[in-house]
């Protein structure tokens, strides 16, 4: 998180102000590795492109970062692909519209940042305009991390249906909790 705060000029204030003013619409954390059922990086890159084009800052960990770097999203010049609000913030701060937050097991850094933002705004994490996505996940680790995010109040999207459809009770529970 320290690197993100440093990139924002040493404070979360630029990000918080951009959210409060509506300059950016929200933040989405994208995580997860590639899934052999999906064309490699398709979900990771397509989602990143759509989000930044709609003024949503993307942060991510793990394999997503390799795909994002290969497609230029981790370079400040990628701000040209962002919507007008996100582009304005990126250009003012000299940052890309997608920020890398560490390896695949560093997802808790995203929650640490969200906790700091919620505390600064005096709200719960569930009140923040944020979401988490693992569009190409393939391991149980991603489901466990997603469950941790849901329990923390973050809306979670898994791009490939987890192997829970064999149990009506588990499916019902997951659907109710947005896992």
Q: What CATH number corresponds to the domain at position 115?
A: 3.40.50.2030
- CA dist 51 → 43, 97, 145, 169 (Å): 12, 9, 21, 33
Q: Which ranges of the chain have pLDDT less than 50?
A: 179
pLDDT tens-place string over residues 2-31: 767 777 778 899 999 999 999 999 999 998
SS3 assignment, position 131: strand
What are the contacts of 119-126 at 24+ separation with CB within 8 A? Answer: 120/12, 120/16, 121/16, 121/20, 124/153, 125/152, 125/153, 125/154, 126/153, 126/154
SS3 assignment, position 60: strand
pLDDT at site 100: 92
Report how far residue 24's alpha carbon sits from residue 85's, in angstroms, rounded to the nearest whole number. Answer: 5
Domain that holds residue 67: 2-177
pLDDT at site 139: 79
pLDDT at site 179: 46
What values do phi and psi take at 56, rounded to 5? -115, 120
pLDDT at site 103: 85
pLDDT at site 176: 61
- How many distinct structural domains can be found in the chain? 1
pLDDT at site 172: 78
Quickly count helices (H) and strands (E) in the chain: 8, 5
């Amino acid at each position: 998180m320290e690197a993100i705060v440093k990139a924002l000029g040493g404070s979360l204030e630029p990000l918080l102000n951009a959210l409060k003013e509506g300059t950016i619409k929200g933040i989405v954390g994208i995580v997860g590795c590639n899934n052999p059922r999906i064309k490699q990086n398709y979900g990771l890159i397509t989602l990143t492109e759509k989000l930044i084009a709609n003024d949503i800052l993307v942060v991510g960990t793990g394999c997503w970062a390799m795909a994002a770097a290969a497609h230029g999203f981790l370079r400040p010049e990628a701000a040209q692909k962002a919507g007008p609000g996100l582009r304005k913030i990126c250009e003012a701060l000299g940052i890309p519209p997608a920020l890398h937050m560490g390896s695949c097991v560093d997802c808790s850094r995203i929650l640490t940042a969200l906790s700091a933002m919620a505390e600064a705004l005096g709200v719960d994490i569930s009140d923040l305009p944020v979401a988490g996505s693992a569009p190409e996940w393939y391991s149980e680790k991603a489901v466990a991390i997603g469950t941790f995010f849901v329990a923390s109040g973050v809306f979670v999207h898994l791009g490939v249906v987890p192997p829970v459809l064999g149990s009506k009770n588990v499916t019902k529970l997951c659907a109710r909790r947005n896992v």
